[in-house]
A and B are shown apart, each in its own frame.
Chain A
Amino acid sequence: MKKTEYPRLQETVFEEVLPNGLNIRVLQKKDFAKKYAFFATNYGSVDTTFEIDGKWMRSPDGVAHYLEHKMFDMPDGSADSVFARNGASPNAFTSYGMTAYYFSCTENFLLNLKTLISFVSTPYFTAESVEKERGIIAQEIRMYEDNAETSVSEKLFNALYEHHPVRVPIAGSVESIGEITPQTLYDCHKAFYDPSNMMLCVAGDVDPEEVVRTARELLPQTSGGVSNRSYGEEEQLDKEPKTVRMQMDISMPTFEVGFRCEAPKKGDDTMKQEIIGDLAAEILVGESSPLYTRLVEQGLINPDFSAGFESVKGVAMLSAGGDSDDPEQVVELILQEAERIGREGFDSDLFRRLKKSAIGRRTRDLDSFESICYRMCAYFFDGVDFLRFPEAYDAVDEQQVQEFLRRVVRRERMALSVIDPIKEDESIVG
């Protein structure tokens, strides 16, 4: 078992790769009552087109999320009740890029770990149970449709890209999930829930050797291979700017603006590009920037405003958003400021402070088991060791950030998504 020390973070990670390709990492956290395990597959809502048994298949939108709901079913009942008996609280989520299953507990850790590994590696779907879930997921989709924050991002992704499946909401639509059958779920499980496409992360006061032994005993000895996937034609980065608007029963307009970036290459480049993108967002319109103070003082943004960089399998963007009575004016000022910084550069002292701040905050994030395990997996799927972030920050310089802003924050890279309140106040209380 490999043991890696991270002196700047004062953390130690135990790592093992099983012959079937599963990567296991354990972060020992003494003095905590909580124990946490996170089992993730590099399969998210965007992985809809893939090769299985030599044939290309296009699965219905929302299938990764549907599968996540149905994985808890086991031939002898629901995994939920097994966890409950052993005192664990399990949960799961599906994002654009991954599906993850996890639990936390204070006792019976190994028993619960067994349950986690078993149910995630055991596909069991019947026509009846798949049918039954449709009503529940339809209600979940309706809930997101009424949520302005989710909707504004979904519409933005849809406007930014023409081909990439990030255009489609993670849960799909009430119509698309209508096409899902037990066979769809079996196919997707076979294609993506192979140990070599997965990672198991554990945090807490546990014995790493026992974690590895448990996984080794329960999972297949060898890998069955992982499907090839396609995300459609390459996206064009420069084109006509686009604005999409809709109305909802909300109190003030909410918006999100996005700028298309070059997608990072797998490996160290992923972390480097993300750090450059995040620092660029901070320099441009983060809380310490001159523009942020100006926007607040002019009453154009409120404390909900935020900006950052994100990437999902083949696409990446810098985005900023929040509530504003005049989203267009906010976007105008952001574009002007980016243009000014591209021309004049920025205060070196601000850059130094922002790096110091970012490293400090990310280090503090390691107190959260949820955050560590999620990030270890997300970066691992992109081919990077997350805990190397302090060194990655050291390597980024001012010129890279300035060049990024000059290249990315331009009208040709932009789409804007706005949700306006419904004009007249039509709400009635009776």
Chain B
Amino acid sequence: MEQRSEILPGVYLHSVTTGKFKTGCFSINFLRPHGKKEAALNALVPSVLLRGSEHHPDIASISNALDELYGATVGTLVRKKGGVQMTGLYCDYIEDCYVPAGEEIFARAAEFTAELLLSPRLENGAFCSMPVQGEKRNLINAIEGQKNDKRSYLVEQLIAEMFRGEEFGVPRLGEVEDVEAITPESLYAHYRDILASSYVEIFYMGRKTHEEATEIFRAALRTLPRSAPFTSYAVGEIKQKTTDVKTHTINMDVTQGKLAIGLSTGCGVEEAGYPALMLLNVVLGAGITSKLFINVREKRSLCYYVSSSLDKYRGIMLISSGVDFDKLDITREAILQEVDSCRRGEISEEELKNAKHLALTALETMRDAPGRLDDFYLGMAICPKMPGVDALIEEIRTLEIPQLVRAAQKIECDTVFYLRGMDA
């Protein structure tokens, strides 16, 4: 059973009622326009909230309260989807039927999460300065630490370059200089503004009905300030195609070269052609039957990993691989040849069938995976014309090769990033 309704002004609850899990979960997300102005602030707020509240003043007391709830988890959640940044907290906890009778874990977990969210520990009318300093340092480390994972680092650099000068090019967690400028007072003022002025999306999956969950969240969030009109947000335009392909090289002290290729797809998630693009991406670069895996890895032994993915909100495709330094150019060519072969219509019935199986299984098992479902519905909340799980399943079943070829013909290579060694 799935239902969605506005439970408080500007606060929407999407609930999925199911009895098959031992874990119940929910997330409370504040929707903000993503950009330089507030990305770092939005990323910092939830971490500071987890450092202490009025009734649970430090990490140990918060953690002890979670232990008392049979090992419930509360964590921060900062996401970026197109031009929208979502900041908030999630909680997962054991369902009531696995603990001694009479203990209501969900209601207590919701109350506790709301307390962390709405009653932070304060000093002089602002956040306490020590936790803010500590969490600023952690956030800066997290931003700088992105380079530790070379594969995702290169992809992040690629996206930043493709959207240079646009708000979308600002990284999910903001930039170091913006984190440095934050004070306990400025953060607290922004936090109060987020609470009052944002649209809020709550995702809940567990054993309670929509009505029961509504009642529990309404009670937990009774002190949430609300002042309409709420801050608007926009997913943004999709990437336009360019005529010249730009190539950039980053040098680091590494033993393996890497490459990341960014392409414009000419198709956003709310457009009619999106399901075909989604399936084309599977044919090209998702899983072990994809063209990239078979032709670039298996037949030519160039790499261990090579795969493609979509950013459905911004209409881009990202392809990444790790190879020897002297194979970077050959691999780039080999990858782009596979994109070309899709454009020329060289997709077999078997490739179509394999891709359909893979895509359909991923969709059909989404209701077995609360985290994936949460993320999917949050996307639907900001893109109301985006097809739902069942609509996507229906549509993918009917797709034929020519529709995939048309999707491929709109794809254009935009930017290429290489990672090389210091003297390679």
How far is the CB of A82 from the nearest CB of chain B, in Å?
Answer: 11
For residue A290, which residue of chain B has the nearest CB? B60
- Are A357 and B324 in touch, CB under 8 angstroms? no
| A78–B297 alpha-carbon span in the complex (Å) | 14
Q: When the two chains form their complex, are residues B60 and A363 in contact, meaning their CB atoms are under 8 A apart?
A: no
Chain A's interface size range is: 35 or more
| Chain A 350-364 interface residues, beta-carbon cutoff 8 Å to B | 350, 353-354, 356-361, 363-364
> Which residues of A80-132 are within 8 A (CB) of B?
80-81, 84-90, 104-106, 132
B59 CB-CB contact with A under 8 Å: yes
Q: Are B141 and A249 in contact (CB under 8 A)?
A: no
Tell which of A140-148, A376-384, A409-417 binds the partner: A140-148
Q: How far is the CA of A428 from the CA of B249 in the complex (A)?
A: 9
- A-B pair count, CB < 8 Å, reads 191
Alpha-carbon distance A160/B150, docked complex (angstroms): 28
**Which stretch in A24-32, A233-241, A399-407 binds the other chain?**
A24-32
Is A333 engaged at the interface, CB distance under 8 Å to the other chain?
Answer: no
Provide the residues of chain B in CB contact with A135, threshold 8 Å: 301-302
- B59:A353 contact, CB within 8 angstroms: no
> Does B5 count as interface, using CB distance less than 8 angstroms?
no
Q: How far is the CA of A29 from the CA of B19 in the complex (A)?
A: 12
Per a CB cutoff under 8 Å, which of A143, A358, A360, A430 touches B256? Answer: A143
In the complex, chain B residues whose CB is within 8 Å of the CB of A228: none
CA distance A316 to B96 in the complex (A): 36
Q: Are B20 and A31 in contact (CB under 8 A)?
A: yes
Q: Which residues of A contact B141 (CB under 8 A)?
A: 251-252, 302, 323
Known contacts: A137-B304, A288-B60, A427-B251. The answer to whether A360 contacts B20 by CB under 8 A is no
Contact mask B251-286 → A, CB, 8 Å, 1/0? 111111000000000000000000000000000000
Chain A 144-173 residues near chain B, CB threshold 8 A: 145-149
Closest chain A residue to B143, Cβ basis: A251
Contact (Cβ within 8 A) B364 A33: yes
Contact A104 B365 (CB under 8 A): yes
Across the interface, name the chain A residue whose C-beta is closest to B75: A303
A359 vs B69: C-alpha distance when bound (angstroms): 11
Q: Residue on B with the closest CB to A247?
A: B253
Is B256's CB under 8 angstroms from A428's CB?
no
Known: A132-B301, A296-B134, A323-B145. Is A364-B22 also a contact (CB below 8 A)?
yes
Chain B residue numbers with a CB within 8 Å of A29 are 20
Q: Contact residue range for chain B?
A: 35 or more
The residues in B between 110 and 146 inclusive whose CB is less than 8 angstroms from any CB of A are: 130, 133-134, 137-138, 141-142, 144-145
The residue on A at minimum CB distance from B365 is A34
CA gap between A287 and B67 in the complex, in Å: 10
Minimum CB–CB distance from A141 to chain B (whole Å) comes to 9
Query: How far is B58's CA from A430's CA once the two chains are assembled, in angstroms?
Result: 45
Residues of A within 8 A of B350 (CB): 85
- Asked if B326 is an interface residue, CB under 8 A from chain A, the answer is no
A249 to B147, CA, bound (A): 8
Mask: chain B, 150-171; 1 = CB below 8 Å from A; 0 = not? 1100000100000000000000
The chain A residue with its CB closest to the CB of B92 is A364
Q: Which residue of A lies closest to B369 (CB)?
A: A34
Interface string of A279-297 (1 = CB under 8 A from B): 0000000111110110011
- B251 to A, closest residue via Cβ: A428
- Whether A84 contacts B255 by the Cβ 8 Å rule is no
Point out residues on A near B: beta carbons under 8 Å: 9-10, 29-34, 78, 80-81, 84-90, 104-106, 132-137, 139-140, 142-143, 145-149, 248-252, 254, 286-290, 292-293, 296-297, 299, 302-303, 323, 350, 353-354, 356-361, 363-364, 366-367, 422, 426-430
Given contacts A80-B288, A140-B304, A353-B67, 9 further A-B contacts (CB under 8 A): A81-B289, A85-B353, A133-B301, A148-B148, A287-B59, A353-B64, A357-B71, A367-B21, A429-B248
Closest 3 CB pairs of A and B: A360-B70, A357-B71, A87-B357
